[in-house]
Amino acid sequence: MANNIYNLQADTLKAIAHPTRIEILQQLQQGERCVCEIFPALNIEQPNVSRHLSILKKEGIVSSRKEGLKVIYRVNDQRIFKILDLVTEMLKEHWDSRKEAFA
């Protein structure tokens, strides 16, 4: 995969573009969390969460450290939440303009 800016941007966006990973990020917005806290909160299998976390980690969106048996994840850059906020704003606007169209 050519390392031009479009590919790099797409890779980062792809890493975020999954409902489970967005939900994981939302958990991490409240602070560091170990896998053992994340997967019950999301009510999905532990290996599944580990896979999603490894995708986020590969793209540099989260980092981890070990603490005994636990692996604790954190978000590297708060801008990720600004991105999610912008998406939400866009969705709202889109929804509103559609409502107008039907009003």
Partner DNA sequence: TTAATATATAACTAAATATACATATAGACA
Partner DNA sequence: TGTCTATATGTATATTTAGTTATATATTAA
Please report how close the Cβ of residue 7 comes to a copy of itself at its closest, in angstroms. 5
DSSP structure class, residue 17 = -
Name residues whose C-beta falls within 8 Å of residue 75's C-beta, 6 or more positions apart in sequence: 25, 28, 29, 61, 62, 81
What is the contact mask toward DNA in residues 34 to 73, using x (rule: CB under 7 A)?
xxx-------xxxxxxxxxxxx--------x-x-xxxxx-
Q: Alpha-carbon torsion 86, 56, 73, 40, what sign?
A: positive
Among residues 20, 41, 59, 81, the one that binds DNA under rule CB under 7 A: 20
**Residue 52 interaction partner, one of a copy of itself, DNA, none, beta carbon < 5-8 Å per kind:** DNA
**Structural tokens at position 40:** 């019950």
Instruction: List binders of a copy of itself among 51-90 (CB under 8 A).
Output: 60-61, 76-77, 79-80, 82-84, 86-90
